[in-house]
Amino acid sequence: MSSEVISREVTRRRTFAIISHPDAGKSTMTEALALHARMISEAGAVHGKAGRKSTVSDWMEMEKARGISVSSTALQFNYSAAAQPDPEVPSVINLVDTPGHADFSEDTYRVLTAVDAAVMLIDAAKGLEPQTLKLFQVCRHRGIPVITVINKWDRPGHSPLELIDEIQERIGLTPTPLFFPVGIAGDFRGLLDRRTGEYMHFTRTAGGAKIAPEEIMSADAAQAREGDEWTSALEESELLTEMGQDHDQELFLAGQTSPMIFASAMLNFGVRQLLEVLVELAPPPGPRSDIEGTPRPVTDPFSAVVFKVQAGMDSSHRDRLAYMRIVSGEFERGMVVTHAQTGKPFATKYAQAVFGRDRSTVDTAYPGDVVGLVNATALAPGDTLYDGPKVQFPPIPSFAPEHFSTLRATTADKYKQFRKGMDQLESEGVVQVLRNETRGEASPVLAAVGPMQFEVVTARMKAEYNVDTIIEPLGYTLARRTDADSAAELNRQRGVEVFTRTDGAVLALFSDKWRLQYIEKEHPDLTLEPLVAAAD
């Protein structure tokens, strides 16, 4: 495959994640984007409520029951934007929906290693929330440009300028609205296109299940139709221009500004505009630095990073899917590549594109694409696959756990299934698993960023392995990385226990920060290093 063909395919691709605080409408927006791309005929709108469909990106029974996403999912579809030079050659959208709940920060962080841009969803009534702030800091740290969507504008909320000021003051990111709402929050009539001066009027559909019809009007027609609401939108838009808050592509890509859209994913208002902005402004895949810090061009031989491993998506097959983000070159199904972590060959015969829970075979893929490898038992998050000269990308760090519990099967006769389930969930990174000789294999210690991760473990052990389990919390609140030389002394201390994690890291668990401070003071020679915090 020539570098010209690869370069052309790369320019078509946009790979992004949707991030937000819980209940800001991420999965509903994911569904709305798929609807506008004509990948589905009807949106599942609100999941978790009687009589309504669950969204295509939520496949786990626990997600459907609670109406929250607890696992990242990948959707790929084509979209022909209005401004595209050749409508016969659509853009390829790789959209990764992420867990919103803070307990699953680690999964979201893995996703953010695999995307080129992020859509930050903010609830119009709630404004910036703690998880939104944390996720933005991760985007800033990784140099990921952010598009901001003020969602739920069909419900009462803050004023546009209040939300813009809050974002600028609290996270230091300057919003540059491209589309400004006509009508206050709770009275969403349409959008002013700040770059053309046109008005886009929306019409509701029953339950928001279909694409909302749009009528594009001139400024004069909008004035005649909307009166004071149009005048107010124009005046506030002009104020933003006077303050220098118009879009600048260089500042956006540099992470200093954020294009903004006001929308209602529930009603499918503003969704087409978001897709158009993603195609027009979000960056295509670019070079990625390897473990030595050397950027790898997208036209180099094939390479990819595994960012997630997931089992249990298809209960009839019990298979294991590894999601890889292609970094460079062309991927061809069936090619034999090298697993950088082991140096062993890896066959890619069973490669699939994923659309929620549905799959289709992938024959070729290019940088930016997310491809699922079936039954990839040797792969773990952070692993590198490559063809040709060796390349390896930096590992994905594990977050510092803050919750610790033991897990055991309720009956001894299910021990074999229990071990199999634990091995699977551990390899996926659902939780960190800690072991030591004292506790043995029958009652491993689970370490998590948030307690809901334990609920996922027990639910999946029951659903996928038919094993009833009991979670018993331990009296530890924080962990530090240590070494074998320090372990003997630490094990003699009250309120401390030393474990080995699957990746070989030696972790010391402490009952509280005061116990840690005392030991650090009394034994300054011991190795006690902080782990990566979820807010870093």
The three state secondary structure string of 287-336 is: CEECCCCCEECCCCCCEEEEEEEEECCCCCCCCEEEEEEEEECCEECCCE
Q: Could you list the beta-strand ranges (E) of 141-198.
A: 146-151, 174-177, 179-182, 190-193
Q: Judge whether 21 and 100 are in contact, CB under 8 Å.
A: yes
Which of 415, 335, 352, 346 lies closest to 380 in space, CA to CA? 346
> What tokens appear for 491 in the block?
């094990």
Assign 3-state DSSP to the chain and report helix, strand, coil percentages, each to 5: 30, 30, 45
110: left (phi over 0), alpha (psi -120 to 50) or beta: alpha
Is 247 annotated among the ligand-binding residues?
Answer: no
Question: Would you call 7 helix, strand, or coil by DSSP?
Answer: helix
Backbone angles phi, psi at 305, to 5 degrees: -120, 130
The owner of tokens 């589309």 is 179
Is 201 annotated among the ligand-binding residues?
Answer: no
Rounded Cα gap, residues 303 and 384, in angstroms: 7
Rounded Cα gap, residues 470 and 458, in angstroms: 8
Q: What angle do CA 34, 54, 264 make, to 5 degrees?
A: 55
Q: Which residues of 116-133 are buried (b: 16+ CB within 10 A; e: fewer)?
A: bbbbbbbbbeebbbebbe
Question: Would you call 346 helix, strand, or coil by DSSP?
Answer: strand
Is 165 annotated among the ligand-binding residues?
Answer: no
Is 101 annotated among the ligand-binding residues?
Answer: yes
Binding residues for GTP: 97-101
Going by the annotation, the residues of the binding site are 97-101
